[in-house]
Amino acid sequence: MRLSAIFTALTGLAVAGGSVYLAREYINLGPSAAQASVESETVSVIVASRDISFGEAIRPGTLTTINWPRAALPGGVYTDYEELLAAGGLPPRRARRPIAQGELILKNKVSDYGEKVTIVQTIGDNNRAIAIEVDAETAVGGFVTPGDRVDIVMTAGSKENLRAVTILQNIRVIGVDQEADVQTDQPSIARTVTVAVTPDQGQRLALAQRAGKLSLTLRSINDTEDRELTMTRMTDLLREPTPEIKEGPARPSVIRIRRGMDVTESVIN
């Protein structure tokens, strides 16, 4: 009886010890296995650690890495610093467009090593850049900045023949004087504003600069629709409204008839 009890106690201790060992191994291996599973589902990608302006050199201080879902990984990302950063005395890559903090560094956003970055790289396909001479009066008091959308109004003629017409609508500003950074929010009095237009619009704009004075009207961010173009003439501004004639009820005609000292009146409708 005593041997049976001792055997039962030893068996219980062995089972308990094995359970504790297995539980400890599970606890120790569990997080590692979970971490390995998470790492297999994500990939480390390079993003901007701060805002990078147009034309700025790509250097280690401007970059960091984050984990990105592997299934949603876009094309053209950088996962290796050695592929992105210049080494061995090579000139650095530069931002072809402004890159916001936390934004993925994509291959189409940066130049090749030592490649020149100019405003040309901000122009869309089949577009041209053309400059317009402006001043504080014609450039919305200097509040036009790169990235804004404007309408262009031409004023031509003299005195009574003076007229104004919107010749282009929803035109993108790509430069103000020598500034092309769309992150710029400081207004300044410019002498030229460079806009992106199609070849046909460029011809119209060049002709309009010769024919009259051009003014810019700043569009709202949400205003993207073109409207029917109309012309306003000086006579439209000087035209006085026709006075309104109010017609009241017709007054009846009265005839007075005098017979001696007697006077009678007759109403004629």
DSSP structure string for 77-94: B---HHHHS--TTPPPPB
Residue 105 placed within a domain = yes
pLDDT band for position 150 (50/70/90)?
Answer: very high
CA distance 102 to 4: 70
Using the predicted structure, report yes or no on whether residue 161 has a pLDDT greater than 90: no
Q: What range does the domain containing 141 cover? A: 124-181+188-238
Average pLDDT over residues 159-188: 77
Instruction: Kindly report the CATH number assigned to the domain that includes residue 105.
Output: 3.90.1210.10
SS (H, E, C) 171-183: EEEEEECCECCCC
**61 and 163 share one domain:** no
**99 and 172 share one domain:** no
Tell me: the pLDDT tens digits for 63-98? 999 999 999 999 999 999 999 998 888 899 999 888
DSSP 8-state class, residue 145? -
Widest Cα–Cα separation across the chain: 165
Query: What is the pLDDT at residue 3?
Result: 58
> 149, 190, 153: which is closest to 168 by C-alpha?
153
> Between these two residues, 132 and 125, which has the higher pLDDT value?
132
DSSP 8-state class, residue 140? G
Query: What is the pLDDT at residue 23?
Result: 55
End-to-end CA distance of the chain: give it in Å, rounded.
143
**100 and 135 share one domain:** no
Residue 145 placed within a domain = yes
**167 and 231 share one domain:** yes
Structural domains counted in the chain: 2
CA distance 70 to 68: 6
pLDDT band for position 240 (50/70/90)?
Answer: low
Question: Is the Cβ–Cβ distance between 266 and 192 less than 8 Å?
Answer: no
Average pLDDT over residues 232-253: 68
- The answer, as to whether pTM is greater than 0.75, is no
Question: Is the Cβ–Cβ distance between 32 and 40 less than 8 Å?
Answer: no
Residue 152 placed within a domain = yes
**101 and 173 share one domain:** no
**145 and 234 share one domain:** yes
Residue 235's region, left for phi above 0, alpha for psi from -120 to 50, else beta, is: alpha
> 83, 110, 77: which is closest to 96 by C-alpha?
110
Query: What is the pLDDT at residue 237?
Result: 77
Residue 136 placed within a domain = yes
Average pLDDT, the chain: 79
**Which tokens is 63 given?**
């970059």
